[in-house]
């Protein structure tokens, strides 16, 4: 009778060998006859004296034949350099990515660098887990091997070697039937893999950024200085030499072309807040409802806006308006308005001239430097006084302190009354048919406009009477220089019937219907003439609105003929002159008027400071200034602080493990016996390998044994109880589910 050690207890099973009939059969076991003890084999091939079968050891090419010192595998070192170092560097890039997210705070989403970083964050959920698995798995193995050479508990070594996923850390503790602090630590370590990948994706968020600032804007000055600028530099008016030398763009043809272009705008442009070239149009203050007045006397623009609600067909040019965000600013302007229009029938008909004429019979007019009425000193004085009053202080102060013709002028009845503009239709269709006329008083309005621009689209939202410009309304540009505008309007609106087709002019069509395109298709001569001669039938109030719009349009074109289409100079803003509001354009140059008695009597003539005239060589107009409140709303990148911290910690942990793994791999001298496959080949007698290859690492063993065929099965001696192990294919029996095996 023979006893075998029985795992898990001290009792030894006893088996009766007296015969097969007396043998106690195990459940499910076939009768294999009387038990025979295994033969005892020599143990000369094993250092510990265990009984392993003696066999002939095959010769393996490259296998060490004699004892040798432990040497680090060149392959292992090469893999560490080629794999671990680049992986660690890439891990560091994720930390750099988290820093970049912080540095991109408030960077616009249109920024190229920000867009590059944003695209890079999208790779995190894919790249980071792969990188984490590769680097952490190798680093943990290096740590385990290093600690194993110095002594380590199996409860620590096994998790380090076998935990390669977050799920492994959970199943391992179940397998051990105990809580492991190492496993818990590995759980949190591997949790950084998915969390770090998601953190990369959520590093940056886009949000609206609001930035408030103040900027100085320049716009066309319609105040006194702007009118003096026109007077001094218009060849038909000025005797100043520089006006003769300037490129006036083909005056007056260019002005007439710009005026016709304004008439030919589409109806959507005419009713819009800006003209076809983006200039802000000024509404009529007199049409607003005073009952809607708000704080600081501002009146909002409510209700439906029509073409007749605007003072002109074109707007005021504004230089370098911000194109992003919300921009708000006050803008002061002046415009002419017609009132008290009366319809007149005139029996004196010019048979050859057709169209529409404009005239101011009671306006004193200039021809170069000479008044039309030069017989009386009174006429000269009246012109000077009315022009100076229109321009305002300090010129208007000369009425009592200036030259003799200012002081001695005696006001006559009607001298202070508003002037009249006469509009007359020319031509006759039928015998005894009269020409129609409208006679209107002309006034000047001084207003302040509140302009709001949203992403470059501007409009006037509120208006109020000017708080700074108190010039009397009955004095207008027609008292100074604008009579030349009446001549230009007449030239562009009339023609000789023997030289041109008999159709209504665009100006006439605009007066009849401001919302229609002022051109016509194929129409009869009679119909065309009837439209042309019907000016007196237009309601006076409606006529006043439309006719004043024509006057303002032509005046504004003359004041800035080259600025209408935009593309204004912005590199050198000083060309527009010193900053000022329109009402103070003259007072800031008051010293220029001190010696007016020694100069020409004509207000504004040759008394403008030279620097203003020098500006005219480059400036498209004299610029007034205002302060704009700019609020920008733009999409910007903002770092998500929580996810930045998470990615920073995850990437730093990854980098630290990578560095530790590289360092410990260089400090580990023992072969890699912990490989799950190659580790089974060390001192394994069942594989019939030479026992002197313990210095060979796992990678080298795999290379040397690549043709070895192995099998997992019963490697024990023949008998009732088997042993499970890895052996050669030929020397290993298959496993039987009913057979007993040692634990």
Q: Which of 88, 121, 92 is nearest to 104 (CA)?
A: 121
Angle, CA of 668, 674 and 680, to the nearest 5°: 140
What distance in Å separates the CA atoms of residue 681 and residue 678, rounded to the nearest whole number? 5
Q: What is the DSSP letter of 83?
A: I
Beta strand ranges found along 393-525 (DSSP E):
420-426, 435-454, 457-465, 494-496
Site of tokens 């968020």: 205
Secondary structure (DSSP) of 15-31: ---S-STTSPPPTT---
**Token pair listed for 271:** 């009713």
Q: State the chain's maximal CA–CA distance in angstroms.
A: 166
pLDDT at 638: 93
Tell me the sheet residues that pair with 211. Answer: 632
Rounded Cα distance between 404 and 384, Å, is 11
Contact 204, 638 (CB under 8 A): yes
Distances in Å between the alpha carbon of 223 and those of 188, 236, 392, 558, 621? Answer: 75, 21, 10, 14, 12
Q: Which of 245, 311, 306, 326 is nearest to 280 (CA)?
A: 311
> Are 565 and 265 in contact, with CB atoms under 8 Å apart?
no
Collapse the DSSP code of 442 into the 3-class scheme (helix H, G, I; strand E, B; otherwise coil) and give the result.
strand
Q: For residue 103, how many C-alpha atoms fall within 13 Å in the half-sphere facing its CB?
A: 10
C-alpha angle 573-579-584 in degrees, rounded to nearest 5:
150
The interaxial angle of helices 253-263 and 540-559, nearest 10 deg, is 140
Q: Evaluate whether 328 touches 636 at the Cβ level (below 8 Å).
A: no
Secondary element (H or E) of residue 371:
strand 370-371
Q: Per the structure block, which two tokens stand in for 567?
A: 């593309």
Strand 740-741 relative to strand 721-722: parallel, antiparallel, unpaired? parallel
User: DSSP letters of 176-230?
Assistant: HTS--HHHHHHHHHHHHHHHHHHHHHTSEEEEEEEEEEEEEEEEE--SHHHHHHH
Question: Given this model, what pLDDT does residue 503 score?
Answer: 65
Return the H-helix or E-strand segment holding 610: helix 610-615
pLDDT at position 683 is 85
| Beta-bridge partner residues of 103 | none
Residue 478 is encoded by which pair of tokens?
């027609």
Token reading at 660: 């530790």
Which residue in 581, 584, 559 sits closest to 331, CA to CA?
581
Distance CA 635, CA 644 (A): 20
Positive or negative, the CA dihedral 455, 460, 461, 463 is: positive
Using alpha carbons, list the distances in angstroms from residue 547 to 313, 349, 532, 541: 11, 22, 15, 10
Q: Which of 101, 234, 167 is nearest to 648 (CA)?
A: 101
- Answer whether 565's CB lies under 8 Å from 467's CB: no
Nearest to 635 by CA among 179, 29, 283, 109: 109
pTM of the predicted model as reported, rounded to 2 decimal places = 0.67
Radius of gyration of the chain, Cα coordinates, nearest whole angstrom: 51
Annotate 348-361 with DSSP letters as a single string. ---SSEEEEEEE-T
Total residue count of the chain as it appears in this document: 743
> Token pair for residue 260?
């016709």
Judge whether 356 and 424 are in contact, CB under 8 Å: yes
Which portions of the chain are predicted below pLDDT 50? 1-54, 239-249, 367-375, 402-405, 429-432, 522-531, 595-607
pLDDT digits (tens, 9 = 90+) for 44-62: 343 443 444 445 556 687 7
Distance in angstroms (rounded) separating the CA atoms of residues 606 and 243: 11
Segment (H or E) for 107: strand 107-108
The secondary element (H helix, E strand) that includes residue 332 is strand 326-346
* Residues 647 and 196: beta-carbon distance below 8 Å: yes
Q: How far does Cα 36 stand from its chain's mean position?
A: 90
Q: Which token pair is 530?
A: 């009837």
Residue 259 in tokens: 């005026």
């Amino acid at each position: 009778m023979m006893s075998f050690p029985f795992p898990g207890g001290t009792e030894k099973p006893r088996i009766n060998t007296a015969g097969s009939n007396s043998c106690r059969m195990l459940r499910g076991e076939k009768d294999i006859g009387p038990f025979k003890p295994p033969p005892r084999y020599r143990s000369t091939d094993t250092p510990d004296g265990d009984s392993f079968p003696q066999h002939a050891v095959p010769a393996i090419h490259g296998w060490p034949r004699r004892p040798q010192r432990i040497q680090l595998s060149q392959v292992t070192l090469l893999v560490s350099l080629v794999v671990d170092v680049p992986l660690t560097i890439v891990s560091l890039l994720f930390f750099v990515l988290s820093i970049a997210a912080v540095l991109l705070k408030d960077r616009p989403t249109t920024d190229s660098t920000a867009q590059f970083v944003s695209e890079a964050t999208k790779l995190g959920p894919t790249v980071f887990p792969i990188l984490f698995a590769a680097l952490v798995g190798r680093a943990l193995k290096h740590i385990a091997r290093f600690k194993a050479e110095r002594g380590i508990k199996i409860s620590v070594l096994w998790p380090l070697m076998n935990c390669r996923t977050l799920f492994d850390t959970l199943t391992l503790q179940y397998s051990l039937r105990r809580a492991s602090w190492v496993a818990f630590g590995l759980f949190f370590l591997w949790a950084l893999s998915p969390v770090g990948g998601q953190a990369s994706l959520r590093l940056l968020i886009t949000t609206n950024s609001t930035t408030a600032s103040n900027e100085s804007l320049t716009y066309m000055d319609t105040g006194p200085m702007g009118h003096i600028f026109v007077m001094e530099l218009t060849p038909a008016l000025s005797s100043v030499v520089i006006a003769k030398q300037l490129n006036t763009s083909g005056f007056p043809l260019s002005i007439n072309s710009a005026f016709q272009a304004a008439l030919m705008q589409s109806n959507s442009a005419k009713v819009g807040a800006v003209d076809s070239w983006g200039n802000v149009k000024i509404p009529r203050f007199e049409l607003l409802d005073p009952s809607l007045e708000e704080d600081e006397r501002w009146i909002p623009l409510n209700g439906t806006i029509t073409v007749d609600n605007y003072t002109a067909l074109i707007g005021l040019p504004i230089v370098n308006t911000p194109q992003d965000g919300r921009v708000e600013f006050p803008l002061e302007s002046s415009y002419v308005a017609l009132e008290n229009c009366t319809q007149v029938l005139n029996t004196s008909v010019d048979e050859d001239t057709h169209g529409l004429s404009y005239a101011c019979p009671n306006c004193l007019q200039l021809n170069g430097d000479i008044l039309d009425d030069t017989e009386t000193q009174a006429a000269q004085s009246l012109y000077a006084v009315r022009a100076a009053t229109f321009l305002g202080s300090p010129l208007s102060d000369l009425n009592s302190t200036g030259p003799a013709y200012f002081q001695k002028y005696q006001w006559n009845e009607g001298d202070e009354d508003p002037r009249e503009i006469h509009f007359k239709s020319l031509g006759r269709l039928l015998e005894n048919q009269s020409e129609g006329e409208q006679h209107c008083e002309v006034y000047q309005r001084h207003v302040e406009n509140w302009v709001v621009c949203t992403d470059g689209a501007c409009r006037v939202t509120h208006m109020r009477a000017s708080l700074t410009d108190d010039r009397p309304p009955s004095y207008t540009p027609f008292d100074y220089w604008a009579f030349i505008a009446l001549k230009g309007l007449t030239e562009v609106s009339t023609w000789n019937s023997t030289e041109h087709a008999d159709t209504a002019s665009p100006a006439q069509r605009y007066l009849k219907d401001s919302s229609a395109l002022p051109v016509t298709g194929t129409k009869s001569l009679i119909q065309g003439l009837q439209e042309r001669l019907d000016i007196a039938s237009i309601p006076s109030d409606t006529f006043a609105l439309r006719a004043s719009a024509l006057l303002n349009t032509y005046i504004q074109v003359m004041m800035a003929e080259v600025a209408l289409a935009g593309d204004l100079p912005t590199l050198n803003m000083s060309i527009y002159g010193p900053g000022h509001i329109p009402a103070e354009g003259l007072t800031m140059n008051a010293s220029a008027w001190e010696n007016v008695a020694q100069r020409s009597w004509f207000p504004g003539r040759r008394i403008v400071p030279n620097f203003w005239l020098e500006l005219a060589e480059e400036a498209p107009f004299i610029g007034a200034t205002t302060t704009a409140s700019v609020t920008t709303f733009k999409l910007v990148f903002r770092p998500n602080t929580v996810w930045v911290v998470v990615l920073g910690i995850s990437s730093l942990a990854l980098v630290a493990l990578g560095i530790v793994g590289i360092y410990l791999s260089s400090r580990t001298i023992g072969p890699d016996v912990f490989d799950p496959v190659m580790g089974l080949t060390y001192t394994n007698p069942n594989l019939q390998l030479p026992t002197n290859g313990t210095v060979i690492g796992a990678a080298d063993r795999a290379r040397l044994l690549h043709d070895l065929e192995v099998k997992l099965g019963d490697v024990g001696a023949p008998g009732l109880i088997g042993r499970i192990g890895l052996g050669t294919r030929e020397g290993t029996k298959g496993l039987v589910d009913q057979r007993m095996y040692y634990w």
